[in-house]
Structure 1
Amino acid sequence: MNNALLVIAVLSAICGICHCLDHPQGRIVGGEVVSAHFLPYQVSLRRRNSINSAYAHSCGGAILDERTIVTAAHCVYNRLEHNFIVVAGSEVRTGMDGGIVSRVEKLVPHELYNASITDNDIALIFISTPLPLGYRKIATIELADEQPAVGTLGTVSGWGLTRENGFSSAQLQQVQVPLVDSTVCQTAYNWRPITESMLCAAAPGGGKDACDGDSGGPLVVDNKLVGIVSWGEGCARADYPGVYASVPHFRAWIAEQRAKYVSLLTD
């Protein structure tokens, strides 16, 4: 049995016994259950608190290539690689559902990540076992070249609470939210900066949103990755847009890190 299959077998056994640990974070508010066939780039980042504990969903992520996942820096900052696995091609928050598991080889949060204002909130995850792209429900997503116009609908997806202070969804969900002008977003968050590395999205009147355990998950427009779930005030509140790391802003950084670490892993 190879390493990938061994990991799958062990994780499946653990989840079958204890149903895995529910993570207190994570949500899609106002959304709908969706098949991973329509979101083949979505992954579940699962973390354990100790060597003896089960892996539980903690954040989302998106597949850039067979060895590279993009997520939020706050999902992995100051944490150890051996406490993470990546599950691709699955629609469930716990267990496997036929998904593919890979161990994490390297965590690379942005070197200028600022936890106090959640700035530069992006990280790359390099995995030890290449993902079988094209197999079942696993595929890459292209990076957006530029930020779409204000009002453009984006699709954000993940597992988690379906309302503020509610319960996590067992199934993958998605919701559409329009992009919001940065000045409007800054007015809402007048106590902290909305920097050029951020973009905002919100449904008029609230009721649709993503944050916390959906952190690191993708915001997609026209099948291109535009944003990474980062932070926000509460859940789907009318006066507070969701804030995302702007993928177009980080394209050069992503390319630099991929070139550096993928070559090291394959040497």
Structure 2
Amino acid sequence: MGHAVKSVCVLVVMLASASVSLRLGTKNEESSALRNSEPRIADGANATSNEFPYQVAIVAKGTATLRCGGALIGKNSVLTSAYCANLGTASDIQVVVGNVKLSTEPPSQVVDVDIIFVHEAYDISGRVNDLAVLQLAQTQNIGQPSVDVVKLRSSNVALRSQCSFTGWGSDTWNGAASDVLKKANLTILSTTDCVSQLGQEVQVDQICAVGEGPSNACFLDEGGPLVCDGELTGILSHSLNCGRQGKPSVYAEVAKHKAWIESHIVDAASVNSLSLLTILAMLTALTTFWNSAA
């Protein structure tokens, strides 16, 4: 019976650990040099209500303090950058949906985060695979004028395509976040042009976009959505000098990561079913133990 007790205890601990891990995020220290290239929108125009229903703000829990942007891609799934996700744990942040204003007051819906899935091959040194999926604690009622998902792009975006980028970042380096969602019209560049204008390497899973004059992403816009032809094409990775001097901003390309993204879109029913299965497995293990002890 001693062997049975030991086996059951190990099994129960393993199952409990698996259940608890569903609600944990990740936290890694990031390099201060790359933090200095963290973006916000510079020289953007105000968005109107319901214009970008997929846009979300990632804020410090219990506040309206902006950390990053993101895009709603499922009823309870948000796509953002790995860099942004690594700034804290799931318990440190909340997601604000349904409002062009950076506010936790109605009509904003403030949602807790259950799980953070950071891309397993993310590399801070070059921002390779700079993507993360946030699993929300509550399913969103999508299809509303103010809350809806954005379609993931499946194919490469054409050069010179006109796209929109949105976020609440300020229009100056290290400035305050905007109270109202900003938008900027950007043009897709070739990798060759991007490398030439940036003066640095661009990764194979990245695309670049540039705006007219100083209009571009800037400080605290990371994780925000670049949408071309109505499809989510990129997630902001980084930007230099807030787009000044015609510097392009750099994005993780969604089409190259679509399979990974879709594999991490877990609906609430799946999470609840997994939790139920864990409980049933634990009860079965306990029943087996008591039967063997009798």
Specify which of 38, 46, 56 is matched with residue 43 of structure 1. Answer: 56
Residue in 1 that maps onto 2:216? 209
State the SS of the aligned residue for 1:237.
helix
Conserved in 1, the CA contact under 8 Å of 2:167 and 2:182? yes
Q: How many residues align?
A: 237
Specify which of 225, 231, 247 is matched with residue 224 of structure 1. Answer: 231
Point out the structure with max Rg over C-alpha. 2
User: In the TM superposition, what whole-angstrom CA distance separates every residue of 1:219-249 from its partner, at most 9, and x where no partner exists?
Assistant: 0011100011110211112242100110111
Residue in 2 that maps onto 1:108? 117
* 2-structure distance, mates of 1:136, 1:239: 34
* 1-structure distance, mates of 2:196, 2:268: 39
Residues 1:196 and 2:204 are matched in the alignment = yes
Of 248-257 and 122-131, more deviation after overlay is shown by 248-257
User: In the TM superposition, what whole-angstrom CA distance separates every residue of 1:109-165 from its partner, at most 9, and x where no partner exists?
Assistant: 111111111111110000011011134500000011112211111100010112334
Specify which of 34, 40, 45 is matched with residue 27 of structure 1. Answer: 40
* 2-structure distance, mates of 1:197, 1:221: 17
Counterpart residue identity of residue 43, structure 1: V
Residue in 2 that maps onto 1:256? 263
* 1-structure distance, mates of 2:166, 2:226: 7
The 5 Å alignment of 1:71-86 reads 71-77=80-86, 79-86=88-95
Conserved in 2, the CA contact under 8 Å of 1:67 and 1:262? no
Would you tell me which structure has more helix in proportion to its own residues?
A: 2
Counterpart residue identity of residue 37, structure 1: N
State the SS of the aligned residue for 1:185.
helix
Residues 1:67 and 2:68 are matched in the alignment = no
The change in CA–CA distance for 1:230 and 1:262 in structure 2 (over 3 A counts) is farther
* 2-structure distance, mates of 1:131, 1:171: 22
Counterpart residue identity of residue 202, structure 2: I
Residue in 1 that maps onto 2:130? 121
Residue in 2 that maps onto 1:146? 155
* 2-structure distance, mates of 1:222, 1:262: 31
* 1-structure distance, mates of 2:233, 2:71: 11
The change in CA–CA distance for 1:139 and 1:212 in structure 2 (over 3 A counts) is same
Which consecutive aligned stretches of 4+ in structure 1 deviate over 4 angstroms post-superposition? 259-262
* 1-structure distance, mates of 2:273, 2:97: 21
The change in CA–CA distance for 1:265 and 1:231 in structure 2 (over 3 A counts) is farther
Counterpart residue identity of residue 173, structure 1: K
* 2-structure distance, mates of 1:145, 1:211: 27
Would you tell me which structure has more strand in proportion to its own residues?
A: 1
* 1-structure distance, mates of 2:232, 2:98: 18
Kindly state the Cα deviation for residue 166 of structure 1 after the two structures are TM-superposed.
Answer: 3.8
| Superposition TM-score, scaled by structure 1 size | 0.82
Gaps in structure 1 of 5+ consecutive residues: 1-24
Counterpart residue identity of residue 244, structure 1: Y
| Superposition TM-score, scaled by structure 2 size | 0.75
* 2-structure distance, mates of 1:175, 1:78: 26
Conserved in 1, the CA contact under 8 Å of 2:76 and 2:267? no
* 1-structure distance, mates of 2:221, 2:155: 23
Conserved in 2, the CA contact under 8 Å of 1:42 and 1:88? yes
Residue in 1 that maps onto 2:196? 187
* 2-structure distance, mates of 1:241, 1:182: 11
* 2-structure distance, mates of 1:259, 1:66: 9
User: In the TM superposition, what whole-angstrom CA distance separates every residue of 1:41-74 from its partner, at most 9, and x where no partner exists?
Assistant: 00011124xxxx7452111111111111000110
Residue in 2 that maps onto 1:3? none
Kindly state the Cα deviation for residue 212 of structure 1 after the two structures are TM-superposed.
Answer: 3.1
State the SS of the aligned residue for 2:243.
coil
Kindly state the Cα deviation for residue 93 of structure 1 after the two structures are TM-superposed.
Answer: 1.7
Conserved in 1, the CA contact under 8 Å of 2:39 and 2:238? no
